[in-house]
């Protein structure tokens, strides 16, 4: 029996998969399942909850702060992701060229990504300070403004300010990943297209971009997921203020669940993020990664 | 609130009166009181982990750690102290309470203990011992930490007083010889200072400590989050009056206060950009101990005062309360209680109060006699912060709902929305009412 098991590809396959499966169940499935369960209860910090059905969801659907947090999250994600993509792609193309000190610049570009998020958030907090902002100080000295800019005290200023911080932090990830993708494109495509008389723009449009699409799909999926679930930048820079104008779903969920003790409601806010995240993944998977040409066919 | 009533006040006042008769310093304790003792026998091999809020004044942590070292030297119990910003102590404490693992003792803020009273060790014996020995706990401490009127779920550590800190010369230049005592005069002063180009500024961001002035504003006009039966009544004509007043006050603020967190007003004040704000004594402490001659010079011009009294005709002070919780899951409950006893005894606590330079007002009446309050007259306004403290859950019973509502910044956000003009006062009140009802449904 044991010998048969040892020689069974299926049994051994299952056996070898078991540790990974246990880890997945323990650290991914269980917390997610617990979160879903908590969302249907009135659990508080330190006390188990009772089943209340959809009450949490019904409340957050009507809650003005949650609605604002959802709007903020979508706005933050869309704007930051677009800018991160454009800047990241631009940097990747630049770094892929034979420029001087290429290695140095490639290392420099990673700096924002290797600084701990909390530290970069504190730096931005100072940069945006209502009274001590270096940006305002410089603009004042240059005579371009007459009073300090209230970066974090005005809702739209605050939204844009945290988006800028997120872009600064997220661009390296996009740039370096796309650079890796660019380096997998064979130079022969460019040589062939050059012989055919293609301009640099045509080369980019018809060679680079199509061949980069799979990696763009992956990197943008991750970028959107990271941005949608961002927490640290907001928590350090604004704590969701002013007037909840920068509260994201993640920060609001934390505030309600942990600081406020309303575990059930906080979990419901977290779970409410899942459909949006799934939509982002589906878009990437079906819209970009499974394009027919990747299987040797033609796009329809 | 049912637990913070006239009876409690009289009990507290009687204790305070008793303490006053006992004398000062080493002689604060009558022989009978001195004879009191309590013994906690630490468990063999005990080790303790303490999580506390990071210092705002250096002398606080320096003396605290000296006391910790003295405890270790005396008992052989190793104590590890972790410091976190008080914004971060709350979530860590909540997670520890929920998971049943983490520090043995947590020094946290406001009514955190009421979020998870069942997870905290009963320290009634220790609290009663300290109360008897040191002239009694102030009424607010009873309200915060003896919510059922019988069992102590933690010990008071004190309070960082939220007083008005101002530049005397700038008030004088604006035509005020003394800090106003009424809200009407306070508004006139703020307007005059604004006209002089030396505005005031009060934090309106999600600040744990400095946002508490919003409670004062609402209470000063008779508004309150809940009534004595824990019914949410924030949407009221009294709150409306407070918000209308707040709008006029906000018009005089320096720009940027909507985003201010706890450190912002310290920075703006010490940089000379504002003439008055609400704060603990840390601004004065920093000025006094600064190595920058300009900032040090400012210390002479800094004064402190209580918040003005509003139409309700009585002080409505809201201060940042500190508590000490022993988590029920600790393996060393006796050692933990012995640690807290040691730290609260006069020999340790008084040097700590002094080291903190008046940043913390004590929760026990006998510590009114500490020399820290008389060594510098500017410290004195902070002395009675706990004595005059009105708990944040006023006028209801403290508990999960009051703690949650406070942590969710319901009052602060309502005030910020209304006075900045982002919402009409009526809209802001309705939103706050709805949100608070959610917590108080429990």
Q: Is residue A12 part of a domain?
A: no
Using the predicted structure, report yes or no on whether residue A297 has a pLDDT greater than 70: no
> Which chain B residues are Cβ-neighbours of A254 within 8 angstroms?
91
Residue A186: inside a domain, yes or no?
yes
In a domain, A170, yes or no: yes
CA-closest candidate to residue B193, choices B214, B213, B170: B170
d(CA A23, CA A19): 6
B166 contacts A200 by C-beta, under 8 angstroms: no
Per the structure, the complete domain to which residue A122 belongs is given by 40-295
Q: How confident is the model at residue A230 (pLDDT cuts 50, 70, 90)?
A: very high
Where residue B111 falls among pLDDT bands split at 50, 70, 90? confident
Q: Is the pTM of this model over 0.90?
A: no
Helix axes B237-250, B425-440, angle to 10 degrees: 120
Q: Which residues of B touch A241 (CB under 8 A)?
A: 204-206, 258-259, 416
Within 10 angstroms of residue B71's Cβ, the number of other Cβ atoms is 22
Q: Pick the residue with more confidence: A252 or A130?
A: A252
Q: Which residues are CB-contacts of B190 (< 8 A; sequence separation ≥ 6)?
A: B199, B200, B249, B252, B276
DSSP character for B157?
E
In a domain, A143, yes or no: yes
**What's the full length of chain B, in residues?**
442
Chain B hits for A59, Cβ within 8 Å: 438
- Determine the average pLDDT of the residues in B378-403: 92
Q: Span B314-338, mean pLDDT?
A: 96
Partner-chain residue, chosen from B115, B204, B267, that has the shortest CB–CB distance to A261:
B115
Contact A133, A148 (CB under 8 A): yes
A282 within domain boundaries: yes
pLDDT in tens, A93-124: 998 888 788 888 888 888 888 888 888 999 99
Tokens of residue A236, six digits: 């350090």
The DSSP 8-state label assigned to residue B257 in this structure reads G
- Nearest-10 crossing angle of helices B237-250, B213-220: 130
Residue corresponding to tokens 């290429």: A102
pLDDT for residue B29: 47
Reply yes or no on whether the pLDDT at A189 is more than 60.
yes
Q: B120 to chain A: which residues are within 8 Å by CB?
A: none
Residue A3 placed within a domain: no
CA–CA gap between residue A254 and residue A267 (Å, rounded): 9
Domains in chain B, CATH or no CATH each: 34-161+319-382 (3.40.190.10), 163-317+408-439 (3.40.190.10)
Instruction: State the nearest Cα–Cα gap between B85 and chain A, in angstroms.
Output: 11
Residue B18's pLDDT is 43
Q: What is the mean pLDDT of residues A200-225?
A: 90
| Mean confidence (pLDDT) of chain B | 90
What is the model's pLDDT at position A288? 64
CA distance B325 to chain A (A): 14
Q: Which of B255, B258, B442 sits opposite A243 (nearest CB)?
A: B258
Which residues are registered as beta bridge partners of B302? B167
* pLDDT of res. A298: 55
pLDDT at B5 over 70: no
Residue A25 lies in a domain: no
Mean pLDDT for the stretch of residues B224-230: 96
Residue A130 lies in a domain: yes
- Chain A positions contacting chain B at CB under 8 Å are 42, 44-47, 59, 63-65, 129-132, 147-148, 150-155, 158, 238-244, 254-256, 258-263, 265
CA distance B410 to B437: 11
Helix (H, G, I), strand (E, B) or coil at A259: helix
CA–CA distance, B319 with A35 (Å, rounded to integer): 35
Nearest-angstrom CA–CA distance, A82 and A35: 30
- Whether pLDDT at B68 is above 80: yes
pLDDT at B25 over 50: no
Residues of A in contact with B261 (CB under 8 A): 239
**pLDDT tens across B149-163, in order?**
999 999 999 999 999
Question: Residue A79 maps to which CATH number?
Answer: 1.10.3720.10
Residue B326: in which H helix or E strand, if any? strand B320-326
pLDDT value of residue A291: 59
What would the mean pLDDT of A28-40 be, rounded to a whole number?
93
Number of domains comprising chain A: 1
pLDDT digits (tens, 9 = 90+) for B170-204: 999 999 999 999 999 999 999 999 999 999 999 99
What is the reported pLDDT for B408? 87
DSSP designation for B118: G
B362 burial via Cβ count (<10 Å: 0-12, 13-18, 19+): buried
Which residues numbered 107-146 in B keep a CB inside 8 Å of some CB on A? 115-119
Query: How big is the A-B interface in CB pairs under 8 Å?
Result: 120
Strands B78-84, B47-53: pairing kind: parallel
Q: What mean pLDDT comes out for the span B136-155?
A: 95
């Amino acid at each position: 029996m044991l010998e048969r098991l040892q020689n069974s590809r299926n049994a051994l396959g299952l056996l070898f998969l078991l540790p990974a499966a246990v880890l997945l169940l323990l650290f991914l499935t269980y917390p997610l399942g617990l979160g879903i369960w908590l969302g249907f209860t009135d659990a508080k910090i330190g006390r188990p909850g009772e089943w209340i059905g959809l009450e949490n969801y019904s409340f957050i659907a009507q809650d003005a702060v949650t609605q604002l947090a959802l709007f903020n999250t979508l706005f933050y994600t869309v704007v930051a992701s677009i800018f991160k993509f454009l800047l990241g792609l631009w940097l990747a193309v630049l770094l892929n060229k034979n420029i001087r000190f290429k290695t140095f610049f490639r290392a420099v570009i990673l700096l924002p990504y290797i600084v701990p998020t909390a530290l970069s958030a504190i730096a931005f907090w100072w940069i945006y300070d209502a009274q001590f902002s270096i940006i305002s100080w410089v603009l004042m000295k240059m005579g371009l403004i007459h009073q300090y800019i209230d970066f974090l005290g005005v809702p739209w200023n605050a939204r844009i300010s945290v988006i800028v911080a997120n872009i600064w932090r997220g661009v390296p990830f996009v740039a370096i990943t796309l650079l890796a993708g660019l380096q997998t494109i064979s130079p022969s495509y460019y040589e062939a297209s050059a012989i055919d008389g293609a301009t640099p723009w045509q080369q980019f449009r018809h060679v680079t971009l199509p061949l980069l699409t799979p990696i763009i799909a992956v990197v943008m999926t991750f970028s959107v997921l990271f941005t949608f679930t961002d927490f640290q930048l907001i928590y350090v820079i604004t704590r969701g203020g002013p007037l909840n104008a920068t509260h994201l779903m993640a920060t609001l969920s934390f505030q309600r669940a942990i600081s406020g003790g309303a575990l059930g409601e906080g979990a419901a806010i977290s779970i409410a993020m899942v459909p949006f995240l799934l939509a982002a993944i589906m878009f990437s998977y079906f819209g970009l990664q499974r394009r027919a040409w990747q299987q040797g066919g033609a796009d329809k | 609130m049912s637990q913070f009533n006239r009876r409690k006040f009289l009990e507290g006042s009687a204790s305070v009166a008793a303490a006053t008769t006992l004398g000062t310093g080493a002689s604060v304790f009558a022989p009978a009181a001195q004879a009191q003792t309590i013994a906690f026998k630490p468990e063999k091999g005990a080790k303790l982990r303490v999580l506390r809020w990071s210092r705002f004044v250096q002398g606080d942590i320096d003396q605290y750690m000296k006391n910790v070292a003295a405890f270790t030297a005396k008992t052989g119990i190793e104590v590890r102290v972790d410091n976190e910003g008080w914004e971060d102590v709350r979530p860590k404490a909540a997670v520890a309470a929920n998971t049943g693992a983490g520090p043995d003792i947590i020094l946290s803020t406001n009514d955190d203990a009421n979020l998870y009273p069942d997870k905290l060790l009963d320290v009634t014996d220790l609290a009663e011992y300290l109360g008897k020995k040191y002239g009694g706990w102030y009424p607010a401490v009873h309200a915060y930490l003896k919510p059922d009127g019988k069992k102590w779920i933690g010990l008071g550590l004190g309070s960082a007083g939220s007083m008005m800190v101002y530049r005397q010369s700038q008030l004088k230049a604006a035509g005020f010889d003394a800090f106003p005592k009424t809200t009407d005069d306070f508004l006139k002063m703020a307007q005059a200072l604004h006209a002089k180009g030396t505005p005031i500024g009060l934090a309106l961001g999600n600040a744990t400590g400095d946002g508490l002035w919003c409670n004062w504003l609402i209470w000063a006009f008779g508004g309150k989050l809940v009534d004595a039966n824990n019914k949410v009544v924030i949407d009221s004509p009294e709150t409306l009056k407070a918000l209308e007043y707040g709008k006029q006050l906000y018009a005089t603020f320096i720009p940027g206060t909507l985003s201010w967190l706890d450190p912002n007003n310290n920075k703006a004040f010490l940089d000379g950009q504002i003439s008055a704000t609400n704060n603990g004594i840390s601004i004065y402490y920093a000025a006094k101990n600064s190595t920058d001659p300009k900032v040090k010079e400012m210390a002479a011009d800094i004064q402190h005062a209580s918040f003005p009294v509003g139409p309700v005709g009585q002080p409505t002070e809201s201060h940042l309360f500190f508590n000490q919780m022993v988590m029920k899951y600790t393996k060393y409950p006796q050692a933990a209680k012995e640690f807290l006893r040691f730290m609260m005894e006069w020999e340790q606590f008084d040097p700590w109060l002094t080291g903190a330079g008046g940043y913390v007002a004590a929760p026990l009446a006998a510590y009114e006699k500490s020399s820290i309050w008389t060594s510098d007259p500017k410290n004195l306004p902070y002395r009675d912060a706990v004595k005059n403290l009105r708990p944040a859950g006023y006028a209801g019973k403290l508990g999960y709902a009051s703690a949650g509502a406070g942590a969710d910044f319901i009052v602060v956000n309502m005030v910020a929305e209304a006075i900045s003009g982002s919402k009409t006062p009526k809209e802001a009140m309705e939103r706050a009412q709805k949100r608070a009802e959610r917590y108080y449904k429990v």
